[in-house]
Amino acid sequence: MNSDPYAWIEKSLAAIHRADWYRSPVAIDNCPGPEVQLAGHRLINFASNDYLGLAGDSRLILAAISATKEFGTGATGSRLLGGHRDLHQQLEQAIANLKQTEDALVFSSGYLANLGAISAVVGQRDLILSDKYNHSSLKNGAVLSGAAVVEYDRCNLEDLTAKLAEKRDRYRKCLIVTDSVFSMDGDLCPLPELLALAREYSCMLLIDEAHATGVFGASGAGCVEHFGCTGETLIQVALSAKL
């Protein structure tokens, strides 16, 4: 037996290099925007989620500087234990107003929002039906919730219906999870039909609107607005890819 418990690291790295899978970060020299300065070359940036151009917007930069001067650089702890700023509530109210929802809750990243939202509504005695093409944050949130996870074929209502008919009655609660706009190919989920299935089988529905908020809907509220489903009972995760 090898006495070095870390010896596997070099072997794993060597295997990654042999497969040509090794990646490392590269430095970008300019402010966020549709083009990036990389190793002396100006390139179009197709890797960004900054669809609305907010990350480099001068108004937002000035507002962030002003807020930092007034409130500091961080919350310094849990808002439940140490309190929060009125600024946080104003942001949550603005999001709820945009989405026309009962309320909104801000997380520090979209990834954490999906983990937190999913684990808050289902647990070990419950079932999650997840679209196979969901973002990894949705998949990981489903696993970490402790619920049984079953994937259905991408946007396939027949497959989802069959799995609901087979498995729904075995579990206390059921959550259907999907992206609204799928990040890799831009497909839209069949939201009205998903809502109908959720009602028929007494399921909750969570959609990730990260790639739809600010893009779809008359006011930019996302696919819920685009499909005329505003006011329907469902859980929305939004804005995570925009800030």
What residues does each domain of the chain span? 7-44, 84-237
Q: Give CA separation, 205 vs 7, 94, 175, 238, in Å.
A: 45, 23, 6, 14
Q: Which class is domain 84-237?
A: alpha beta
131 strand-pairing partners:
152
Separation between Cα atoms, residue 90 and residue 61, nearest integer Å: 18
Mean local confidence (pLDDT), 51-65? 91
Cβ count within 10 A of residue 89: 13
pLDDT at 155 over 80: yes
| Mean pLDDT, all residues of the chain | 93
* This prediction's pTM: 0.89
Tens of pLDDT, residues 72-110 = 988 888 888 888 888 889 999 999 999 999 999 999 888
pLDDT tens digits along 222-238 = 999 999 999 999 999 98
Residue 102 is predicted with a pLDDT of 92
